[in-house]
Chains A and B, each alone.
Chain A
Amino acid sequence: MSKSSAKTGLLVQAHGLGKSYPKVFHRSDRLRALLRLLAGRREVDATTVLHDINLEVWRGQSVGLIGENGAGKSTLLKLISRVLTPSAGNVKVHGRIGALLELGAGFHPEYSGRENIAMSAALYGLSSDEIRLRLPEIIEFADIGHYIDEPVKHYSSGMVVRLGFAVVAATRPDLLITDEVLAVGDESFQKKCVRWIEEYLESGGTLLLVSHSMYHIQKLCKHAIWLKSGVISAQGDVFDVTQAYLSYHERKNTTQAPQRAVVEAQGMEFHLLDVWLNDESHEMPLLLEHGDELRIRTKVHSRDGRVPVVMLGIVRADSTPVYGVSSDMDGAEVTLQSPGIYMAEVHFPALCLLPGGYTVRMHALDTEGVRLFDTIERGLTIRGSSRELGMVRLPHRWIAPNALPNAADSRAGTAP
């Protein structure tokens, strides 16, 4: 009956969903909580894990859930799969859920893989006839050889995941929920799972995936939700959200250092007074589209009035260098503006950086370009939904093969 409604539209609907855990420190807290609950009152003193989540997942959607550790991703999945009960709001799910929430959840370590398949398939709501029917299929998918008849406690974590995924795959859920468990499987099994999920999505399945692998998220999901300390920070197209998340994350790792560097540089022979990116001098990262123009201007104070060398570097926010150049390399002029104050400006007419988070580093060096005196960093976020890999777009051109002379002929022609 609910099947038919599930066929058409909304699979998951969460409204004002929240989860908080009671703060229990003393023995008496438990008793007090018990009495309060028995009296039908809600817990007052609680730690909020998720707050006011509004969420809709439609049939056929593939949604990635990203966020830092402790952001509430797993809690949200558990609320949706009804393992946990919300402490605020509600969540409605239409259709059968297959949830891979934790490694080996629902498996009994003493039992063989075969017996555990039966048990956990029953937990997912399969009847014993269906289980018997699909057992060979499950065993084949898990592909763990003779281990299928050994107790699960002797399994490696990868085998446990194989078994777990095989069971969930066989239940053909309306909504598949997986929580980072795929990361445990080996390369070939991950590929198998990804292939299975892709087929499942093509045949109209719905996916809710938690992963810290942006590769998996971008490969499997069209939508993404970024959870930040229990609230939805961003949701929408997978590329927008993952990029926002990545630049936030990478920047967070590198924010502490530059401030200190500026302070320490006071009274140095050369020190950077300011840096402007496209005429903006504030600390907020500059947002650009792929291919936009970037203008970097900097002001350097020279204690003895000697001409500084200005160097700039662009690094991906995880500190992988992308490009670096200095004024003396290019023979560019650093102009005197007022006594002891020099200015330099460099333009990138069409920035070929691929979407992601970057940092622009400006350095002040001595006249010889040998000693580094000061550094200022500015964030730079490139937006866009390109699926290209790497950091920059290299100029390239695709040639239709039939427009070329026959490959074998050309090789034969050039060999002698």
Chain B
Amino acid sequence: MRALSLALNFTRREIRNRYLGSFSGGLWALLQPLMQLAVYSFVFVYIFKAGPIFKAGAQNAVATGFVPFLVMGLWPWIAFSEAITRSTTVLPENAGLIGKVALPREVLVIASVGASLSLHLLGFIAICIAMALWGTPIQLIMLPLALLVYLQMALLVLGLGFLFSALQVFVRDLGQVLTQLMMLWQFTSPIFYPREILPEPYRDWMGFNPFSYYPEQMRALLLGSESIAPGACFAALIVALAVLALGIVVFRRLDSHFEDFL
């Protein structure tokens, strides 16, 4: 109970911390993905002329156009990767608090993840509504379901956040390595392209990527592309819960030694 109210308090503080003193305030959090969207759309649509290629490979997936397709992958990805990279370094960043105040350290990770995810969720909902107003056939009615999918992603992110933040205390390079790995992860996930355009062996490998479920499910729900098999949904949930459990176990085991290594 106390941990919960603390986590809420810290999340609020975390959100304020990130934008306290920044010129644009919280607006930047919403603008940043928008800029990325503009850059990627420009590169893929006008430079690489990717639209027709995607369409040829997977009519269904990109039926509503490349930008809405990209939105469904890009927002969850930005939330996902930002939450993970930020939460990874949260313990050293709060070393002052850890050595001086008694608090459940999980709160710090939860607050960091919570701040990233909630900010980008706002952005995601905003852009979905904006696109709907623009005339894109987005099924806004499915937004609550999409929210559930987003929550499921939160479990996965939280698990990875616990895991990486605990390891980061001992292996300080993890943060840097992770930034690079995230880029690799980004391009091996079906964010910029539908899974269908991949050649056969690689296409199935994507099933092992725990993130690939989320853009695809968002597209299925909101853009009405080919729906995901219930088995795959279930598997994704299991994976998210398993990662969360692993994260909690590792975090708990290392928790009592954080202050020795910070």
Binding site for B on A (CB under 8 A): 21-22, 24, 30-31, 33-34, 37-38, 40, 43, 78, 81-85, 97, 99, 101-102, 105-106, 108, 110, 118-120, 122-123, 125, 127-128
Distance A125 CA – B3 CA, assembled complex (angstroms): 9
Pairwise interchain contact B253-A40, C-beta atoms closer than 8 A: yes
Pairwise interchain contact B259-A105, C-beta atoms closer than 8 A: no
B261 in the interface, Cβ–Cβ < 8 Å? yes
B28 in the interface, Cβ–Cβ < 8 Å? no
Pairwise interchain contact B101-A85, C-beta atoms closer than 8 A: no
B260 CB to closest chain A CB (Å) equals 5
Q: Which of A24, A34, A83, A127 contacts B5 (CB 8 A)?
A: A127
Q: A residues within 8 A CB of B254?
A: 34, 37-38
Chain B: CB-nearest residue to A22: B260
Our count of residue pairs bridging A and B at CB distance below 8 angstroms stands at 74
Q: B11-37 CB contact bits vs A (8 Å, 1 = yes)?
A: 001000100110000000000000000
Distance A119 CA – B97 CA, assembled complex (angstroms): 12
B203 in the interface, Cβ–Cβ < 8 Å? no
Enumerate 12 A-B pairs (CB-CB under 8 Å) in ascending A order: A22-B261, A30-B172, A33-B261, A78-B99, A85-B257, A85-B259, A99-B101, A101-B101, A105-B100, A106-B101, A122-B6, A127-B5
Pairwise interchain contact B13-A119, C-beta atoms closer than 8 A: yes
Interface residues of B, dominant DSSP: helix
Most buried by A among B103, B171, B250, B257: B257
Pairwise interchain contact A106-B170, C-beta atoms closer than 8 A: no
A125 CB to closest chain B CB (Å) equals 5
Distance A97 CA – B102 CA, assembled complex (angstroms): 10
Pairwise interchain contact A101-B259, C-beta atoms closer than 8 A: no
B74 in the interface, Cβ–Cβ < 8 Å? no
Are A34 and B167 CB-contacts (below 8 A) given A81-B102, A106-B97, A123-B6? yes
Interface residues on B, range: 20 to 34
Are A83 and B102 CB-contacts (below 8 A) given A30-B171, A34-B254, A122-B9? yes
Q: A residues within 8 A CB of B257?
A: 22, 33, 37, 43, 85
Pairwise interchain contact B17-A110, C-beta atoms closer than 8 A: yes
A185 CB to closest chain B CB (Å) equals 18
Pairwise interchain contact B261-A30, C-beta atoms closer than 8 A: yes
B256 in the interface, Cβ–Cβ < 8 Å? yes
Q: Which of B21, B101, B250, B259 contacts A123 (CB 8 A)?
A: B101
B137 in the interface, Cβ–Cβ < 8 Å? no
Distance A373 CA – B20 CA, assembled complex (angstroms): 72
Distance A84 CA – B262 CA, assembled complex (angstroms): 12
B22 CB to closest chain A CB (Å) equals 12
Chain A: CB-nearest residue to B254: A37
Pairwise interchain contact A84-B259, C-beta atoms closer than 8 A: yes
B65 in the interface, Cβ–Cβ < 8 Å? no
Pairwise interchain contact B102-A34, C-beta atoms closer than 8 A: no
Chain B: CB-nearest residue to A19: B260
Q: B residues within 8 A CB of A99?
A: 101-102
